[in-house]
Structure 1
Amino acid sequence: MIDTPEEARGTLNGTVVRTVLPPAETPTAPKPSAPRENRLRALDGLRLVAALMVAGYHYGGRDGEVVQAWGTSPRHQFPTLHHLFAYGCLGVQVFFVISGFVICMSGWGRPLRSFFASRASRLLPAYWAAIIIVTAVFALPVVAYKTVSPSDALVNLTMLQQPLGVDRVLGVCWTLWAEVRFYALFALCIVLPGANRQRVILFCAGWTLAAAIAQGVNEPLLNMVLMPEYAPYFIGGVGLYLVHRDRRDAYAWGIVGVSWLIGQHYAVQRLWHAPNPEFFSNRSSYAIILVVTFGYVAVAAIALGWLRWANWRWLTVAGALTYPFYLVHEHLGWVAIKAYHRTLHLPSYATFLATIATMLLLAWLLNRFVENRLTPKLRTALAKPRP
């Protein structure tokens, strides 16, 4: 969710040139070619699709603070589509599968310092900007939404607000906390000792078993570290990167299959409930499984090269906008919805599209004036060895 394919591509190039693999694994690391770039562009497009799914959920797939923006429940604004928007929350699971794939690609053959510098410089500039912008906008008298305290806003800059029990500035930051924990596990178990096929397979198998045990004993510390509910998606993405390296790898396919089986279970367990008119919508367990399957199949298609024809340059731009869009779309989207729908009196669907367009424009500004300027500087500062 938080990676750019360009970084992953550079890492993979470095891996092929510098890493000496055992003879049995050498055929699985071909030199990069144009099709590989195409697959990465398809991954950009998939990331944007997942982000738009989440935006649809936040704008039209649930009640909550967005009701204040619309003036009524989204059920009344979108009498037909609100049932579909309710499945948009599963875009997060799709993000996690993508993240597992890209982080494994990015960390393969990279030293720990470089991996940390890459992750921190990718995450933090746009995140800090989003925290500042949302806090400032919500502090305006004309905005009715409650802002967090100055102290809590400062803690949010650390990305540790979730475990510290601090009010969140960004509603989506809980997913970033899951990403950070995945990065830490992957860095300690794979990047630090050095990535290879056997180590990655053992990591996936060990994490799957440990997460199942953590779920069984219901120990808070284990649950926080091992994330049983989200681990299958990250692990599935890692397995799909192994498939990307060698489509005949039976162990890799086994990792993907087991991860999908467990992942659909957690998705259904969390999102399905018996039909009840008091709920916003009644999701079908079959549809939940179908959306989760879509995430795995889409990344698998990219890993296998089936989407190499998707080589449009605009996909790279779409991928660059996904992370800043994801950060700002929810809370600032409420403000935009109220302005377009209740002040300018635009129809519901026009308001929805105008809000998406506005958030994409803001994401472009963040990418151009924040990420493009600060990310390289921060990466260089963190990657430079110190005496």
Structure 2
Amino acid sequence: MVKQSERLLNLDLLRLASALMVLLFHYGFRMRISGEGGGVGFPELAPMAVWGDVGLLIFFAISGYVITMSAEGRSAYAFAAGRIGRLWPTFMVCATITAIVLTFLPVPTLPAPTLGQWLAHVFIISRALGQPFLDGAYWTIAYEIIFYGWIFLLIAVGIFERYWRVIVTIWLALSVLNESLIHSGALEKLLITSYSGYFAFGLALFRLRMSFSWTGAGVLLAAACWAAATPFLTEPEFVATYGMDRSMTGLLLMGPVALVAVAIAALLPSLPIKPALAVTLGGLTYPLYLLHQNIGYAVFANFGTTQSRWLLLGAILTVITALSLAISKTVEPPARRAIIAASLRLQARLSRSPQKTA
């Protein structure tokens, strides 16, 4: 059996590759059409970059796998503390950097950041407080948080590990029902019905990797089928946003390519790479994803020209990668340890309080 740590090294590398796909989509395709780069773009990259959003699908499937693994054998409290420690400090640092950059380097097509908007990001899902995201890429983080919330609740009531097959089957059925008949925006957000196939695929893949069953395999297949339908569900929004249709063949391949990539990374032995390097590359993925979009647009909009765009792209990638590496090494680890330690102290106090009352 392949060791869990070895499988995670592949997933770390795949996470970085996925982030680079999304970066390619934003810089190589979206920026020129939306005008967010001040008219600067990379039309040479567009035929490939237009498919870069497959990186998002890979991200969601990886999350399903990794979050299910992180929940294994843990209490709901420990799971929540671990997730908060992992996500929140880096998110706030990156949101703050983005707000500062957009204040001094405004993007003509984007509203200027406000103090209220920044404060709303303390809760990560700022839209719930009526404030737009400081960066358009944050919408995927909101879906991640919702997924974590459901896992937390399922662990808390003690049904996650035993009844995961039933739970995922119901989730997929509700997703199909909502996307085909109900069309509820609230239900779509609450249950992530457009992308549930990817989260469910990762979840089922981990469970089957730990203990195979034919019913679990059926759940995995159902998740894969629904995931394959996702590009067709979201394509109308793509057409409305960018004014172009993508090929049917490409849409057919997006889901299977994402799922196969995650399955290979999770199930095969690790690539011949030093573990420390793989962990480092995987660690910088999260801040890189949070920082790249609007900060890149701001730099291109204020300094980019047709002649300097490639040089500027290289400079942006270098600076953002270095900044992401610094954040992943100096911010996230100590902040995570501090949050987890504080949560343990709080848990200890809460466990002793009934005795004192008695």
**TM-score bin, normalised by smaller chain:** 0.7 to 0.9
Q: Which residue of 2 aligns with 1:115?
A: 79
Does 1:55 pair with 2:23? yes
Give runs of aligned pairs for residues 130-169 of structure 1, distance below 5 A. 130-140=94-104, 146-169=111-134
SS for the counterpart of 2:284 is helix
User: Are 1:359 and 2:327 counterparts?
Assistant: no
Match of 2:12 in 1: 44
Aligned AA (2:163): R
Distance of 1:275 and 1:214 partners within structure 2:
21
> Per the alignment, do residues 100 and 269 of structure 1 end up closer, same or farther by CA in structure 2, a change over 3 Å counting?
same
Letter aligned with residue 321 of structure 2: L
In structure 2, the residue matched to 1:308 is: 270
The structural deviation recorded for 1:199 is 1.4
Which residue in 2 is equivalent to 1:222?
187
CA apart distance, 1:68: 4.6
Mark the runs of 5 or more structure 1 residues left unpaired by the alignment. Answer: 1-29
**C-alpha distance in 1, partners of 2:147/2:72?**
15
C-alpha distance in 1 between matches for 2:86 and 2:56: 19
Q: CA 1:174 to 1:143, structure 2 compared with 1: closer, same or farther past 3 Å?
A: closer
Residue of structure 2 in register with 1:105 after alignment: 69
> What's the offset of the Cα at 1:325?
0.6
Residue 249 (structure 1) aligned with residue 217 (structure 2): no
Q: Report the Cα offset of residue 67 of structure 1.
A: 3.2
**Structure 1 residues 328-382: Cα deviation after superposition (integer angstroms, max 9, x where no partner):** 0111112343567439x5353x443432222111101211221122111012112
Aligned equivalents of 1:202, 1:335: Cα separation in 2: 46
User: SS in structure 2 opposite 1:87?
Assistant: coil
What do residues 74-104 of structure 1 show as CA deviations (whole Å, max 9, x unaligned)?
A: 3xx333x202101112211110000000011
- Structure 1 position 141, deviation (Å): 6.1
Displacement, 1:241?
0.5
Q: 5 Å matches for 1:64-75? A: 67-69=35-37, 71-72=39-40, 74=41
Deviation at 1:236, TM superposition (A): 0.8
- Is residue 231 from structure 1 mapped to residue 193 from structure 2 by the alignment? no
Distance 1:273 1:173 in 2: 17
In 2 relative to 1, CA 274–178 (structure 1 residues): closer, same or farther, beyond 3 Å?
closer
Which amino acid letter does the alignment assign opposite residue 131 of structure 1? A
Are 1:143 and 1:335, in contact at CA under 8 Å, matched by a contact in 2?
yes
CA distance 1:68–1:93, shift in 2 (3 Å) = closer
- Identical-pair percentage: 24
The alpha-carbon deviation at position 125 of structure 1 amounts to 0.4
Q: Which residue of 2 aligns with 1:372?
A: 333
Q: In structure 1, what residue type is equivalent to 2:289?
A: Y
The Cα shift of 1:235 comes to: 0.6
**Which of the numbers 282, 293, 303 marks the counterpart of 2:256?**
293
Alignment check: 8 A CA contact 2:37 2:107 kept: no
Q: Distance in 2 between matches of 1:275 and 1:112?
A: 41
* 1:212 corresponding residue in structure 2: 176
1-structure distance, mates of 2:328, 2:4: 24
CA distance 1:320–1:141, shift in 2 (3 Å): closer
Inter-CA distance 274–158: structure 2 relative to 1 (3 Å threshold):
closer
Instruction: Decide whether the 8 Å contact of 2:113 with 2:134 is kept in 1.
Output: yes
Residue aligning to 2:56: 92
Q: TM-score, normalised by structure 1?
A: 0.81
Letter in 2 for 1:152: Q
For residue 270 of structure 2, give the secondary structure of its aligned residue in structure 1: coil
Structure 1 equivalent of residue 227 of structure 2: 263
Instruction: Return the offset for 1:285.
Output: 2.4
Cross-structure match for 1:3: none
Q: Secondary structure at the match of 2:123?
A: coil
Distance 2:174 2:88 in 1: 30
Q: Name the structure where helix makes up a greater proportion of residues.
A: 2
Structure 1 residues 319 and 340: CA distance shift in structure 2, 3 A:
farther
CA shift in 2, pair 1:191/1:294, >3 Å: farther
CA deviation after TM superposition for structure 1 residue 66, in Å: 6.4
In the alignment, the residues of structure 2 paired with residue 118 and residue 338 of structure 1 have an alpha-carbon distance, to the nearest angstrom, of 38
Distance of aligned partners of 1:338 and 1:353 in 2 relative to their CA distance in 1, 3 Å threshold: same
Q: How far 1:116 moved relative to its partner?
A: 0.5
Could you list the per-position Cα deviations for residues 138-192 of structure 1 after superposition, in whole angstroms to 9, with x for gaps in the alignment? 1126776542221122112211322333121121111111111111111112454
Where does the alignment leave 5 or more consecutive residues of structure 2 unmatched?
351-358
State how far apart, in whole Å, the 1-side matches of 2:289 and 2:242 are.
Answer: 26
Distance 1:149 1:320 in 2: 29
Q: Does 1:317 align with 2:280?
A: yes
Q: How many residues are aligned here?
A: 345
